[in-house]
Amino acid sequence: MKLKFISAAIGSIFLVLSGTALAQTTLSAAVDHTIKTNPDIATDARHRRSIDEALIGAYSGYLPSADVGWGYGSEKAKNSNTGYRWSHYLHRKEKSLTVQWNIFQTFGTYFEVERNKARMQSAAYKTAGTSEQIALRVVEAYLDVLRMRETVRLTKQNLDNHQKTYDQIHMRAASGVGRRSDLDQAEARLALAKSNLVSSEANLRDVEIAYQRYTGTHPDDLFQPELPIDALMPTSLENAMEVARDNNPLLKQAKADVEAANAQYHAAKSPFGPRLDVEGGMTDYDNTGGVEGPSDDRYIMLRMRWNIFRGGADMARLGETKQLSYEAMEINKRTLMQLDQSTALSWNTLVSVRERLPNLKQHVDSALATRDAYTLQFSIGQRTLIDLLDTENEYYTSTVEYVNGQYLELFAGYRLMADMGRLLHSLGVQHLVDTDATQRVGWTNPWSRSDYAEPLKQIPVAQAEEATAEEAALVPESDAAEQGESCARQLNTRFSV
């Protein structure tokens, strides 16, 4: 019985270890975690919800307002009721109910509602745009970590090869066969290889810090991603630009801002027209006007008010909103130009790196074959040490360049997805509900902050394809980490090159 228990325990340990070994964070999991926890995205989402409430406030202009009044104090009066003499002090009491319903305001309420609708759409698109931007930064950091880890591996391999060469030359020099100059040359190249490793490891730490800045977690065993599926990739530059102009959330935000500015301009015209209200009320007075006893009144009125002069404030406000409308149009124009430029650059990078990759691969294969041949020839004295070290260095450089080209192709593809507003979709990650520009997110209680949820503290860990469901249940999640500094970028920063 005891033996069975020990066997089961050992089996469980191996199962846990095997499941942990297979645990990998996918690119989609890293982006999904960031979308849900990044404070910059949460800030835009909260701003979007505040405008939802502002829209409800704008609709209130169509509804009546009611006021209840109450008062108590002392009064003395001098009028015809008192024979134009001061009366003695009376205890005055008031109770009132007043209802006012605006039925015409020169379309001021209508345009205020339209302005807030456009603002709501703009805020939703801004949240979506920020999500795409932050997701692209996560993709960049994720790929940089993988690229630098591979670079460190190649650099260590290069150091090992230089160490073997140095050991071989050192043995020759110690036995009196080799030359001192060869030993010095091998030692110099070995020192350079060690320096390259230190630099590569430092660069790896830098990109791991960048990854943690966006995701809030330290990168664990990252899963190697692939390019987005061909169905999402554009077929030409023209196709990419067309999709980007239709789907990019930042461009949609700029267009919504133009609509909001135009509605604000039309709303600023309403003070130049009349205002028509239906008013009704009832007031109960006690001991007023110098007369003891009740004095009540009831009324319902149709009131028209038309301001004919306000010191030029209305005209200035109209001019202000006109210029704000022009400003929004220019921002929209600039955003379109920057989007076209960014899309063209992403497409050009993707096309050019795809053309370079076969040549880079050929360079690696040729450098490897040359290095192996020179190694054999050096052992029989047909090649100098300089020839051997140069081929070793060329092989190392070519492999690093090829690795950089592969990851540049991946990033160019994902950047193109971001330009076209498809990055989260290509990763299978859902947008937050706050990015829906067609309707309000939902009602919130303004008297309570109970709807505020703390961000998730751990990143979900996805299993490799080989892992079973039972193994997945045994894989612990990665440790929590503090959120990094705010990574919000302005619109022109997103499209900068």
Per-residue confidence of the chain (497 residues) as pLDDT tens digits? 444 444 444 344 333 333 333 457 899 999 999 999 999 999 999 999 999 999 999 999 999 999 999 999 988 888 877 778 888 888 889 999 999 999 998 999 999 999 999 999 999 999 999 999 999 999 999 999 999 999 999 999 999 988 988 888 888 777 766 677 778 888 899 999 999 999 999 999 999 999 999 998 999 999 999 999 999 999 999 999 999 999 999 999 999 999 999 999 999 999 999 999 999 999 988 878 777 878 888 999 999 999 999 999 999 999 999 999 999 999 999 999 999 999 999 999 999 999 999 999 999 999 999 988 988 888 777 888 888 888 889 999 999 999 999 999 999 999 999 999 999 999 999 999 999 988 888 777 788 777 666 544 444 444 333 333 333 333 333 332 333 333 333 334 444 33
Q: What is the C-alpha separation between 48 and 41, in angstroms, rounded?
A: 11
Q: What is the C-alpha separation between 296 and 288, in angstroms, rounded?
A: 10
What integer pLDDT is reported at residue 448 of this predicted model? 78
Fold of the domain spanning 2-63+107-272+313-494: Outer membrane efflux proteins (OEP) (1.20.1600)
Report the side by side order of strands in the sheet with 275-288.
65-75, 90-104, 275-288, 291-305
pTM equals: 0.80
Question: How far is C-alpha 221 from the geometric centre of its chain's CA atoms?
Answer: 24
Task: Return the percent helix, strand and coil in the chain, to nearest 5.
Answer: 65, 10, 25
In contact, 260 and 328? CB cutoff 8 Å? yes
Q: What is the C-alpha separation between 51 and 442, in angstroms, rounded?
A: 12
Q: Half-sphere exposure (CA, 13 Å, Cβ side) for 390? A: 7
Find where tokens 């919800």 sit.
49
Where do the domains of the chain lie? 2-63+107-272+313-494
The span from the first CA to the last CA of the chain, in angstroms, equals 69
Q: Which residues contact 356 (CB under 8 A, 6 or more apart)?
A: 405
In eight-state DSSP terms, residue 176 is T
Q: Which residues contact 298 (CB under 8 A, 6 or more apart)?
A: 281, 282
Q: Give, in degrees to the nearest 5, the angle at Cα 163 between 160 and 166.
A: 155
What the block records as the tokens of 463 is 């299993």
What the block records as the tokens of 99 is 């209802």
In contact, 22 and 87? CB cutoff 8 Å? no
What are residue 5's phi and psi, to 5 degrees? -65, -45
The DSSP H or E segment spanning 66 is strand 65-75
Can you tell me whether residue 2 is helix, strand or coil?
A: helix
What integer pLDDT is reported at residue 407 of this predicted model? 96
